[in-house]
């Protein structure tokens, strides 16, 4: 692993740790700030995630366009700095409004992952992009091993302590990157910033301009990510409601999700994707995810959730494989715009996904629910995965993965 790739790996790892640290304590914080019931807090959490997603949907293409114009380094460092300040505001938030404002500003500059993917595309030959994108997934997985476990431990000293810890990690990472991170985008590959392309509509239209194949791959990312949002938006609420888990137990279970994801994306991606091809890996990963979601939905005991984590392991290869296929069909001067467009698709999924999942959880877990079934979000996630597989099959028929070098 070269120095630039190693730094991006470390950047995403530390950023993911910061995100994972606060997951176990968010339900309790929202309950304490609002006085709502647990089901009501889940609905509030979904609305906060919706605001964050809408903001990223609008600003993601701008960030991608700026990285194509000025380079990846300044955009990446600004994003890390903003996340650090966001966590500090959340740590001191006396009311729910402060929490909402903090997430809004984080959404404006929250481009570290999409910019990291563009950075990887800059420094990787086409045949190595899939495995290298998998390394980013591995970093995220490792972050979710360390982050939630660390958050559960830090919560013993107070529900605000994990936010201070996340802020320290993000700001320390920004400072480290200021002195270490080199620029990856050569001057000859930069392009003028264009507001007509740096907006959500323009970013989504770039998929249509590329080819019908890339367009269908974009739809696959959108639908797949809507289902995948169930893990981030309802896992803590579901496991606490269904099994009475403590923040520490939630943290350790998410650490298990991260461990499996890190092993699959960091070790298996470098062997499976070159051997079987990104297209076959997407199919296997989606099928793995479908079975995993159904196991979560109908789990009758806590240990069954861990079985589901193992069964769903290959779903961690879906996104890096799709990224590789789309990147192969995009010219070097437009990699940042592509990643901005992908970020918009993910944000669009996050606009619909968390409210859909949290509302279904609230509807089927409330005291007056006509049918008590808190696993409903994971049934919805399985349905989304089936649709994503159908759309991807269409993309395959159009010839997914044909390279573009101009």
Q: What is the CATH number of the domain that holds 257?
A: 1.20.1250.20
Q: What is the DSSP letter of 301?
A: S
Inside any domain, residue 193: no
Let me know how many helices (H) and strands (E) the chain has, helices first.
Answer: 17, 0
Q: Is the separation of the CB atoms in 77 and 183 below 8 Å?
A: no
Inside any domain, residue 142: yes
User: Which residue from 221, 262, 239 is spatially nearest to 353, judged by alpha carbons?
Assistant: 221
Inside any domain, residue 403: no
pLDDT over 90 at 82, yes or no: no
Question: Higher confidence at residue 341 or residue 218?
Answer: 218
161-185: average pLDDT = 83
Residue 40 confidence class, pLDDT cut points 50, 70, 90:
confident
What is the average pLDDT score of the chain?
Answer: 80
pLDDT over 50 at 403, yes or no: no
Question: Higher confidence at residue 101 or residue 388?
Answer: 388
Inside any domain, residue 39: yes
Inside any domain, residue 192: no
Token output for 238: 């579901």
- Tokens 């998929």 correspond to 207
Inside any domain, residue 186: no
Residue 184 confidence class, pLDDT cut points 50, 70, 90:
confident
Range of the domain at 118: 3-179+199-397
382-388: average pLDDT = 95
Domain count along the chain: 1
Q: How many CB atoms lie within 10 A of CB 3?
A: 10
pTM for the predicted model, two decimal places: 0.66
Q: What is the pLDDT of residue 405?
A: 38
104-115: average pLDDT = 70
- The helix or strand, by DSSP H or E, that contains position 281, with its residue range, turns out to be helix 278-297
């Amino acid at each position: 692993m070269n120095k630039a790739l190693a730094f991006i790996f470390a950047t995403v790892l530390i950023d993911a740790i910061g995100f994972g640290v606060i997951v176990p304590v968010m339900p309790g914080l929202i309950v304490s700030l609002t006085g709502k019931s647990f089901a009501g807090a889940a609905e509030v959490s979904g609305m906060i995630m919706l605001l964050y997603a809408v903001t990223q949907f609008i600003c993601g293409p701008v960030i991608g366009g700026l990285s194509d114009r000025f380079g990846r380094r300044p955009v990446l460092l600004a994003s890390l700095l903003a996340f650090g300040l966001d966590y500090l505001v959340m740590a001191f938030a006396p009311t729910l409004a402060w929490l909402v404002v903090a997430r809004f500003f984080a959404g404006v500059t929250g481009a570290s992952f999409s910019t990291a993917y563009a950075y990887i595309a800059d420094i990787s030959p086409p045949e190595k992009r899939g495995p290298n994108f998998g390394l980013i997934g591995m970093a995220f997985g490792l972050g979710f091993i360390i982050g939630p476990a660390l958050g559960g431990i830090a919560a013993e000293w107070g529900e605000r302590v994990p936010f201070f810890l996340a802020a320290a990690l993000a700001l320390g990472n920004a400072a480290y990157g200021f002195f270490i991170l080199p620029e990856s985008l050569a001057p000859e590959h930069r392009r003028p910033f264009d507001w007509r392309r740096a907006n959500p509509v323009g970013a989504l239209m770039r998929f249509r301009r590329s080819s019908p194949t890339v367009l269908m791959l974009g739809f696959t990312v959108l639908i797949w990510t809507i289902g995948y949002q169930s893990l981030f938006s309802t896992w803590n609420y579901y496991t606490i409601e269904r099994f009475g888990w403590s923040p520490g137990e939630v943290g350790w279970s998410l650490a298990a999700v991260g461990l499996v994801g890190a092993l699959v994306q960091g070790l298996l991606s470098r062997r499976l994707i070159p051997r079987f091809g990104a297209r076959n890996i997407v199919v296997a990963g989606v099928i793995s995810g479908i079975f995993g979601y159904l196991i979560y939905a109908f789990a009758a005991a806590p240990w069954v959730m861990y079985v589901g984590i193992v069964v769903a392991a290959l779903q961690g290869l879906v996104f890096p494989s799709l990224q590789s296929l789309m990147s192969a069909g995009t010219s070097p001067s437009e990699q940042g715009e592509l990643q901005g467009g992908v970020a918009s698709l993910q944000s669009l999924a996050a606009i619909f996904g968390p409210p859909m999942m949290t509302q279904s959880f609230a509807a089927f877990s409330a005291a007056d629910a006509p049918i008590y079934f808190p696993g409903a979000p994971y049934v919805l996630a399985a349905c989304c995965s089936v649709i994503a597989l159908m759309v991807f099959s269409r993309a395959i028929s159009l010839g997914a993965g044909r390279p573009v070098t101009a």
